[in-house]
Structure 1
């Protein structure tokens, strides 16, 4: 009969489920423990599944001050930074090899905050004059090939000098011609510097908010209008943050 067949099918399904293999390796065990520890079982998953799945981890790992985004990866990065710091501090310059001595000397120079504040921006300005002053001399002879070569040499020199704290050089599509690339030379991104060190933190915040909204904005009719790349680049230009060079 139908009832007997239905009971037989259920019995077979239960038997198949009971004999299903379960991973009991060390990796699976550790992963399952981690997943269970991240749960907040006091939260109804139908109400907030994110809080249910990650609430336990969030309770045990409060974000550091002034950090907007905190995650497992950022926590691992913090732990790695601490390990690197401890490793560098363990280097004895009297016994270390040349590479370790340079690493320790570089770290100590960065931590010497009093000397950095006393010297101010003078070393950076002196570096610009010493390394790059030849590229900015007046040249009244128009020679596109020579200018292109000099620009290439300048960019290579900047990259070799690790000039990213002063200049940020990237490649992107031209807003006026998508078949061409442009070299973007501007001040460093805000994520790489403290806000007080940027030229215009308000401009950076404005541009960042626009990009984070998926390059869309609400128009007067309540819909969304596409924000073109050209408009975004125009915002950089009006903020005095962008210098374009067609390649």
Structure 2
């Protein structure tokens, strides 16, 4: 069975999509079979990996409602399979609310293709709605990216509470594998204080941090991960180290 890693934070602008793409690419470059799942109706991950959401016929929206996952998978230039998203996913969130088995939607969709992959990485929606709950219910591990600023703490606490609720309810094996400070400028005392504070505040591993880099913003324009477009950038090197930590932890 593959390990399912949910990359989650309901606060936007924390490099969640960048993190999902970079870690998936690093896993694939390590020789692993990887499925990347876009569960964000904005479809930023789908765009970032060079797939035009307007041309997608079957997406994660249809798959969560019962369409075969293998009918929707797209092979990307990063040697990673992608379950793309479209705006239809926003309506799927509402449709799932009425279903008694809504938390199992992603887990059930992944089951028929489980033997094809070593890793499944889920880019979660920036909310704590049904889509994120389905991701947490299917996941073995949760990684929480966050910006190195004090306001980011509030979102982390809410997400950890949600993860605990999911663990007590439908997924007792769920583990928060760590916090990942992103877009960090360690030249500033504020960023350093935030990173140092994280360790003691939540009692969780703090991975990275991933430094701020303009190369990260340039990569989606080329439809690739920053690990491919700028493999020697500081951000790429940091993401490779995080991927190595996650793989060794498995």
- More strand as a share of residues: 2
Q: TM-score, normalised by structure 1?
A: 0.22
For the pair shown, which has the larger CA radius of gyration, 1 or 2?
1
Which structure ranks higher in relative contact order (CA pairs < 8 Å, sequence separation ≥ 6)? 2
- More helix as a share of residues: 1
Q: TM-score, normalised by structure 2?
A: 0.21
